[in-house]
Amino acid sequence: MTEEVGVLGEKTSRRTDVERIVETPLPTVYGKFRAYGYLDHERGDEQVALVHGDLDTEGVLTRLHSECLTGDAFGSRHCECGAQLASALRQVADAGSGVVVYLRGHEGRGIGLLAKLRAMALQAGGLDTVEANLALGLPVDARDYGAAARILDDLGVRSVRLMSNNPRKREALVRHGIRVTEQVPLLIPPCESNITYLRTKRERLDHHLPHLDAMAHVPS
Protein backbone atom coordinates (compact mmCIF):
# COMPACT_ATOMS: atom_id res chain seq x y z
CA MET A 1 0.00 0.00 0.00
CA THR A 2 1.24 3.48 -0.82
CA GLU A 3 -0.14 6.96 -0.13
CA GLU A 4 -0.39 9.20 -3.18
CA VAL A 5 -2.01 12.50 -4.10
CA GLY A 6 -4.75 11.95 -6.69
CA VAL A 7 -5.63 14.20 -9.60
CA LEU A 8 -8.28 15.96 -7.50
CA GLY A 9 -5.82 16.62 -4.69
CA GLU A 10 -7.04 13.93 -2.30
CA LYS A 11 -4.67 11.58 -0.54
CA THR A 12 -5.51 7.97 -1.22
CA SER A 13 -4.01 4.70 -0.05
CA ARG A 14 -4.05 2.05 -2.72
CA ARG A 15 -2.45 -1.23 -3.66
CA THR A 16 0.51 -0.80 -5.97
CA ASP A 17 -0.42 -3.65 -8.38
CA VAL A 18 -3.74 -1.99 -9.33
CA GLU A 19 -3.17 1.75 -9.23
CA ARG A 20 -5.76 4.50 -9.46
CA ILE A 21 -4.56 6.89 -12.15
CA VAL A 22 -7.41 9.35 -12.68
CA GLU A 23 -10.89 10.36 -11.58
CA THR A 24 -13.19 12.45 -13.76
CA PRO A 25 -16.91 13.29 -14.04
CA LEU A 26 -18.66 11.27 -16.75
CA PRO A 27 -22.21 12.31 -17.67
CA THR A 28 -24.06 9.48 -19.42
CA VAL A 29 -27.52 8.83 -20.84
CA TYR A 30 -28.22 6.95 -17.59
CA GLY A 31 -27.16 9.74 -15.24
CA LYS A 32 -24.08 11.43 -13.84
CA PHE A 33 -21.21 9.10 -13.01
CA ARG A 34 -17.61 9.49 -11.96
CA ALA A 35 -15.10 7.45 -13.93
CA TYR A 36 -12.15 6.07 -11.97
CA GLY A 37 -9.33 4.86 -14.20
CA TYR A 38 -6.94 2.17 -12.98
CA LEU A 39 -3.81 0.50 -14.30
CA ASP A 40 -3.30 -3.16 -13.47
CA HIS A 41 0.49 -3.29 -13.35
CA GLU A 42 0.53 -7.09 -13.09
CA ARG A 43 -1.53 -7.76 -16.25
CA GLY A 44 -1.06 -4.49 -18.10
CA ASP A 45 -4.82 -3.88 -18.41
CA GLU A 46 -6.43 -0.44 -18.13
CA GLN A 47 -9.63 -0.68 -16.07
CA VAL A 48 -12.46 1.68 -15.25
CA ALA A 49 -15.06 1.88 -12.50
CA LEU A 50 -18.17 4.01 -13.02
CA VAL A 51 -19.47 5.32 -9.69
CA HIS A 52 -22.83 7.01 -9.16
CA GLY A 53 -23.65 8.88 -5.97
CA ASP A 54 -21.86 8.52 -2.66
CA LEU A 55 -20.79 4.96 -1.98
CA ASP A 56 -21.35 3.31 1.37
CA THR A 57 -18.86 0.75 2.59
CA GLU A 58 -21.44 -2.03 2.93
CA GLY A 59 -24.07 -3.47 0.61
CA VAL A 60 -23.08 -1.40 -2.41
CA LEU A 61 -25.06 -2.15 -5.57
CA THR A 62 -22.33 -3.44 -7.87
CA ARG A 63 -21.88 -4.88 -11.33
CA LEU A 64 -18.64 -6.50 -12.48
CA HIS A 65 -19.02 -6.33 -16.25
CA SER A 66 -16.70 -8.33 -18.47
CA GLU A 67 -15.61 -6.50 -21.59
CA CYS A 68 -17.58 -7.58 -24.68
CA LEU A 69 -16.85 -5.50 -27.76
CA THR A 70 -19.42 -7.26 -29.94
CA GLY A 71 -22.22 -6.87 -27.39
CA ASP A 72 -21.32 -3.62 -25.66
CA ALA A 73 -20.32 -1.59 -28.73
CA PHE A 74 -21.85 -3.35 -31.75
CA GLY A 75 -25.17 -4.43 -30.23
CA SER A 76 -24.64 -8.13 -30.98
CA ARG A 77 -27.60 -10.33 -30.17
CA HIS A 78 -25.41 -13.41 -29.93
CA CYS A 79 -25.16 -12.62 -26.21
CA GLU A 80 -26.97 -10.39 -23.70
CA CYS A 81 -23.89 -8.43 -22.62
CA GLY A 82 -24.79 -5.04 -24.06
CA ALA A 83 -28.27 -5.15 -22.59
CA GLN A 84 -26.87 -6.23 -19.22
CA LEU A 85 -24.43 -3.32 -19.16
CA ALA A 86 -27.18 -0.83 -19.98
CA SER A 87 -29.49 -2.35 -17.37
CA ALA A 88 -26.78 -2.28 -14.69
CA LEU A 89 -25.97 1.39 -15.32
CA ARG A 90 -29.67 2.25 -15.28
CA GLN A 91 -30.28 0.35 -12.03
CA VAL A 92 -27.31 1.98 -10.30
CA ALA A 93 -28.53 5.43 -11.34
CA ASP A 94 -32.10 4.65 -10.26
CA ALA A 95 -30.85 3.39 -6.87
CA GLY A 96 -29.01 6.66 -6.24
CA SER A 97 -25.60 5.07 -5.74
CA GLY A 98 -23.52 2.13 -6.84
CA VAL A 99 -20.64 1.07 -9.05
CA VAL A 100 -20.11 -0.69 -12.37
CA VAL A 101 -16.59 -2.06 -12.76
CA TYR A 102 -15.85 -2.56 -16.45
CA LEU A 103 -13.27 -5.33 -16.72
CA ARG A 104 -11.02 -5.22 -19.75
CA GLY A 105 -9.07 -8.36 -20.58
CA HIS A 106 -12.26 -10.40 -20.04
CA GLU A 107 -13.28 -10.57 -23.70
CA GLY A 108 -14.79 -13.96 -24.51
CA ARG A 109 -14.63 -15.04 -20.86
CA GLY A 110 -10.94 -14.20 -20.91
CA ILE A 111 -9.79 -15.84 -24.18
CA GLY A 112 -9.52 -12.60 -26.19
CA LEU A 113 -11.39 -11.02 -29.08
CA LEU A 114 -10.05 -13.04 -32.01
CA ALA A 115 -10.40 -16.32 -30.14
CA LYS A 116 -13.96 -15.34 -29.22
CA LEU A 117 -14.79 -14.69 -32.87
CA ARG A 118 -13.33 -18.08 -33.79
CA ALA A 119 -15.47 -19.66 -31.07
CA MET A 120 -18.53 -17.85 -32.41
CA ALA A 121 -17.82 -19.27 -35.88
CA LEU A 122 -17.76 -22.77 -34.38
CA GLN A 123 -21.03 -22.04 -32.59
CA ALA A 124 -22.57 -21.01 -35.92
CA GLY A 125 -21.58 -24.51 -37.08
CA GLY A 126 -23.43 -26.20 -34.24
CA LEU A 127 -21.15 -26.29 -31.19
CA ASP A 128 -22.23 -24.63 -27.96
CA THR A 129 -20.12 -21.97 -26.25
CA VAL A 130 -18.39 -24.48 -23.96
CA GLU A 131 -17.66 -26.97 -26.75
CA ALA A 132 -16.32 -24.19 -28.99
CA ASN A 133 -13.74 -23.02 -26.47
CA LEU A 134 -12.62 -26.57 -25.79
CA ALA A 135 -12.39 -27.34 -29.52
CA LEU A 136 -9.94 -24.43 -29.81
CA GLY A 137 -7.88 -25.81 -26.93
CA LEU A 138 -8.89 -22.88 -24.74
CA PRO A 139 -10.30 -22.72 -21.20
CA VAL A 140 -14.06 -22.43 -20.80
CA ASP A 141 -13.63 -19.44 -18.49
CA ALA A 142 -10.24 -17.78 -17.97
CA ARG A 143 -11.43 -14.66 -16.15
CA ASP A 144 -9.80 -13.43 -12.94
CA TYR A 145 -11.56 -11.03 -10.58
CA GLY A 146 -8.59 -10.02 -8.42
CA ALA A 147 -8.31 -6.60 -10.05
CA ALA A 148 -12.04 -5.99 -9.55
CA ALA A 149 -11.74 -6.77 -5.86
CA ARG A 150 -8.78 -4.41 -5.49
CA ILE A 151 -10.68 -1.65 -7.28
CA LEU A 152 -13.61 -2.09 -4.90
CA ASP A 153 -11.21 -2.05 -1.98
CA ASP A 154 -9.69 1.21 -3.26
CA LEU A 155 -13.19 2.72 -3.48
CA GLY A 156 -13.80 1.78 0.16
CA VAL A 157 -16.33 -0.94 -0.64
CA ARG A 158 -16.32 -3.85 1.80
CA SER A 159 -19.48 -5.70 0.77
CA VAL A 160 -21.70 -5.63 -2.29
CA ARG A 161 -25.12 -6.42 -3.64
CA LEU A 162 -23.84 -8.10 -6.76
CA MET A 163 -25.79 -7.76 -9.99
CA SER A 164 -25.02 -11.09 -11.64
CA ASN A 165 -26.54 -14.42 -12.60
CA ASN A 166 -23.18 -16.16 -12.29
CA PRO A 167 -22.49 -17.87 -8.94
CA ARG A 168 -18.80 -18.23 -9.82
CA LYS A 169 -18.44 -14.46 -9.92
CA ARG A 170 -19.80 -14.27 -6.40
CA GLU A 171 -17.43 -17.00 -5.24
CA ALA A 172 -14.47 -15.22 -6.82
CA LEU A 173 -15.20 -11.94 -5.05
CA VAL A 174 -15.52 -13.71 -1.71
CA ARG A 175 -12.17 -15.43 -2.27
CA HIS A 176 -10.63 -12.00 -2.84
CA GLY A 177 -12.04 -10.58 0.39
CA ILE A 178 -15.19 -8.77 -0.77
CA ARG A 179 -18.37 -9.97 0.95
CA VAL A 180 -21.49 -10.47 -1.15
CA THR A 181 -24.59 -9.74 0.91
CA GLU A 182 -27.02 -10.37 -1.96
CA GLN A 183 -26.91 -11.62 -5.54
CA VAL A 184 -29.27 -9.45 -7.59
CA PRO A 185 -30.56 -11.09 -10.79
CA LEU A 186 -29.80 -9.30 -14.05
CA LEU A 187 -32.22 -11.04 -16.39
CA ILE A 188 -32.55 -9.94 -20.01
CA PRO A 189 -35.38 -11.30 -22.19
CA PRO A 190 -33.84 -13.72 -24.71
CA CYS A 191 -34.26 -13.61 -28.46
CA GLU A 192 -33.97 -16.22 -31.17
CA SER A 193 -30.29 -15.37 -31.70
CA ASN A 194 -29.15 -15.97 -28.13
CA ILE A 195 -31.58 -18.45 -26.57
CA THR A 196 -29.28 -21.44 -27.23
CA TYR A 197 -26.31 -19.53 -25.80
CA LEU A 198 -28.28 -18.60 -22.68
CA ARG A 199 -29.51 -22.14 -22.15
CA THR A 200 -25.93 -23.36 -22.37
CA LYS A 201 -24.89 -20.81 -19.77
CA ARG A 202 -27.61 -22.14 -17.47
CA GLU A 203 -27.05 -25.84 -18.09
CA ARG A 204 -23.27 -26.00 -18.37
CA LEU A 205 -21.98 -22.88 -16.57
CA ASP A 206 -24.49 -22.84 -13.68
CA HIS A 207 -25.89 -19.35 -14.39
CA HIS A 208 -29.17 -18.67 -12.59
CA LEU A 209 -31.59 -17.91 -15.43
CA PRO A 210 -35.06 -18.95 -14.24
CA HIS A 211 -36.82 -16.72 -16.77
CA LEU A 212 -35.82 -19.11 -19.57
CA ASP A 213 -38.34 -21.67 -18.26
CA ALA A 214 -41.23 -19.42 -19.24
CA MET A 215 -39.97 -18.85 -22.78
CA ALA A 216 -42.22 -21.13 -24.83
CA HIS A 217 -41.90 -18.69 -27.73
CA VAL A 218 -38.80 -16.63 -28.28
CA PRO A 219 -39.11 -13.48 -30.40
CA SER A 220 -36.66 -12.95 -33.24
For residue 220, the model assigns a pLDDT of 46
- Residue of 14, 141, 150, 170 with catalytic role: 141
DSSP 212: G
| Range with lowest mean pLDDT among 59-63, 106-110, 120-124, 208-212 | 208-212
Is 143 considered catalytic here?
yes
The C-alpha atoms of residue 68 and residue 71 are separated, in whole angstroms, by 5
> Using CA atoms, how far apart are residues 61 and 92, in angstroms rounded to an integer?
7
Q: Which of 2-6, 36-40, 72-76, 165-169 has the lowest mean pLDDT?
A: 2-6
Give me the pLDDT at residue 4, please: 39
Q: List pLDDT tens digits, range 62-76.
A: 999 999 999 999 999
Q: Where are the alpha helices (DSSP H) in the chain?
A: 81-95, 107-110, 113-124, 129-135, 146-154, 167-175, 195-205
Q: What is the mean pLDDT of residues 140-155?
A: 96
Mean pLDDT of 194-199: 89
What average pLDDT does the segment 155-184 reach?
96
Instruction: Tell me the pLDDT band of 137, cut-offs 50, 70 and 90.
Output: very high
When pLDDT is averaged across residues 183-203 and rounded to a whole number, the result is: 90
pLDDT surpassing 50 at residue 12: no
Q: Which one of the listed residues 14, 63, 118, 143 is annotated catalytic?
A: 143
**Is 90 labeled as catalytic in the residue annotation?**
no
